[in-house]
Amino acid sequence: MGDLKRAVLFTNEYPPNIYGGAGVHVEYLSKSLAKLIDVEVRAFGDQNEDHGNLRVRGYQGWDELSEGTDPRFKGPLNAMSRNLKMAKDPLDAQIVHAHTWYADMAAFYAKKLWKVPMVASIHSLEPLRPWKEEQLGNAYHMSSWMERTALENSDAVIAVSQGTRQDVLDNFEIPEEKIHVIHNGIDLAEYVKATDTSALESYGVDPDRPYVLFVGRIARQKGIIHLVEAIPQIDPDLQVVLLAGAPDTAEIGQEMSDKVAEAARQRDGIIWIDKMVTREEAIQFYSHADVFCCPSVYEPFGIINLEAMACETAVVAAAIGGIPEVVVPEETGLLIDLPLKPGTFEPVDPAGYATALAEGINRLAKDSELRAKMGKAGRKRVEDHFSWDAIAERTVELYRLLVEG
């Protein structure tokens, strides 16, 4: 098929439009890939940028395709229209690479139209997020079909963890040899422990009072409701700082508001910042937190744990998905056992899970020596295993296998 010179990445999220870990992944992966090959990113948005070997183009949807229908259907219909637009444009590349169901079909169509191999990265899987029917209605079945069609027709699938690889095998008809594990990464120069506390002060956090931190979307899979329910059991000397915005639905947004208000009636020191802060601000919050908590009930990888560890903060997280491949128990943090009801992502014992989260947070909050030790070990683990440049090199190796094979 010839030499590898250029790859085209298809994605929903790309700066300045980022709201989750998949967008962070594509942003940093594309920049690191561009050190090795030419890269073009086709994203949802209005971007039009050229940065040396990295070119970014944004695509808008066809509004008429989603007019006059159930509002819940608009997301998948709009995504499909953008996928078609992204795929039909001339493609001067030897390989295409899709990220999330939003853009998977763009790569599938491009593979068919331009006769190039296709790679798809798994950041999460629709069959494992059944609560999305609350968000999309029956259009959830459309997003699931888009994902399945693209993945099962890919030439290679990248899973961001061994746990995700097993999820792919359990839920899709894809040969084992086509599934490759390449972890998420982090920019080691950017995510460094900060001394500045101006962001904390501007949002009403007392920098002289210890706090536990959550960072993420208000989504079922992120488990934030379980953490909020744990607040009455968390040491009252700790502030609870929730960097939580972009609710998946109005319903879960209201549930979050109600739960936080209920917790606030029982104790002070709860600071809920209901928007996505800047990356520089987030690094300050990570750096000064005594404990970072990741209560997710579904997490293929959990890049937020890497971010906390890079900033030398000890982690309390659920032992699910790809998290145990990142957080080493009793070395870089604590892992909380999370039995789930069969076939669901509902804890067998929600109250028990909330209690276990609180106990883990309290244990670290009371032991400054252990926190410091875990913080240093977390930073070293990130440096040793999760640099974006190493991940880009592994990705290019896979591209070459497909292009030259």
Task: State how far the Cα of 161 lies from the Cα of 104, in Å rounded to an integer.
Answer: 19
- Dist CA 311 CA 280 (whole Å): 12
Q: Where are the domains of the chain?
A: 6-185+387-404, 198-385
Q: Residue 332: its pLDDT value, please?
A: 98
* pLDDT of 168: 96
How many helices and strands (H and E) does the chain possess? 14, 14
How far apart CA 140 and CA 73 sit, in angstroms, is: 8
Q: Name the packing angle between helices 388-404 and 21-33 (round to 10°).
A: 70
Count of CA atoms in the C-beta half-sphere (13 A) of 132:
22
In order, the DSSP letters of 317-373 are EES-TTGGGTPPBTTTEEEE---B-TTSSSBSSHHHHHHHHHHHHHHHHT-HHHHHH
Enumerate residue ranges in the chain where pLDDT < 70: 1-2
Of all helices (H) and strands (E), which one includes residue 151? helix 139-152
The string of pLDDT tens digits covering residues 187-216 is 999 999 999 999 999 999 999 999 999 999
Which has the closest alpha carbon to 291: 276, 305, 275, 271? 305
Of residues 332, 323, 317, 330, the one with CA closest to residue 380? 332
pLDDT at 248 (0 to 100): 86
| Enclosing H/E stretch for 242 | strand 239-245
354-371 b/e (C-beta count within 10 Å ≥ 16 → b):
bebbbebbbebbeeeeeb
The pLDDT, as a whole number, for residue 2 is 59
Q: Which pLDDT belongs to residue 361? A: 98
Given this model, what pLDDT does residue 1 score?
44
**Each residue of 268-293: pLDDT tens digit?**
999 999 988 999 999 999 999 999 99
Which structure tokens are listed for 150? 């693209």
Torsion of the alpha carbons at 85, 90, 92 and 96, rounded to the nearest 10: 30
In 60-140, DSSP assigns E strands to 95-99, 118-122
CATH topology of domain 198-385: Rossmann fold (3.40.50)
The pTM for the full model equals 0.83
Max Cα separation, the chain? 66
Let me know if domain 6-185+387-404 sits in CATH 3.40.1030.10. Answer: no
From start to end of 2-161, where are the E strands? 6-11, 38-44, 48-51, 54-59, 95-99, 118-122, 156-159
> Among 66, 67, 58, 129, which residue's Cα sits nearest to residue 89?
58
SS3 for 169-210, per residue? HHHCCCCHHHEEECCCCECCCCCCCCCCCHHHHHCCCCCCCC
Q: Please give the helix or strand (H or E) that residue 64 lies within, else none.
A: none
Domains 6-185+387-404 and 198-385 belong to one CATH topology: yes
Helix (H) or strand (E) holding 388: helix 388-404
As a whole number of angstroms, the distance between CA 345 and CA 338 comes to: 10
